[in-house]
Amino acid sequence: MSEFEAEHAYRLAALERRVDAIMRHLGIAEPTVATTASARVQELARQGDKIHAIKQYREETGVGLAEAKAVVDNLF
């Protein structure tokens, strides 16, 4: 991942966290996890390769380990 892509992934993840916080505050249901995880992450999780799914999700979004693990754990 290039520096440009990493910066944008980090910024996107920060925006997603802010939107999630606003949605929780307003009592709006969160979108399903399947819409937030890429096809690659979903495939790795479906194959039972949770470690690589978590790693892939972190690379794509820039989120921390705990958040990535929670997303992957809730995929299926």
Residue numbers of the domain that contains 31 = 3-73
How many domains does the chain contain in total? 1
Q: Comparing C-alpha atoms, which of 64, 72, 60 is closest to residue 6?
A: 60
Burial category of 52 from C-beta neighbours within 10 Å (exposed 0-12, middle 13-18, buried 19 and up): middle
**pLDDT tens per residue across span 3-62:** 888 888 889 888 988 988 898 888 887 655 445 789 999 999 999 999 999 999 999 988
Q: Is the dihedral of CA 41, 37, 65, 62 positive or negative?
A: positive
Quick one: pLDDT at residue 35?
Answer: 52
Which pairs with CB-CB distance under 8 Å and at least 24 residues apart come from 55-58? none
- Report the predicted TM-score, pTM, of the whole model to 2 decimal places: 0.56
Q: How far apart, in whole angstroms, are the C-alpha atoms of residue 54 and residue 74?
A: 12
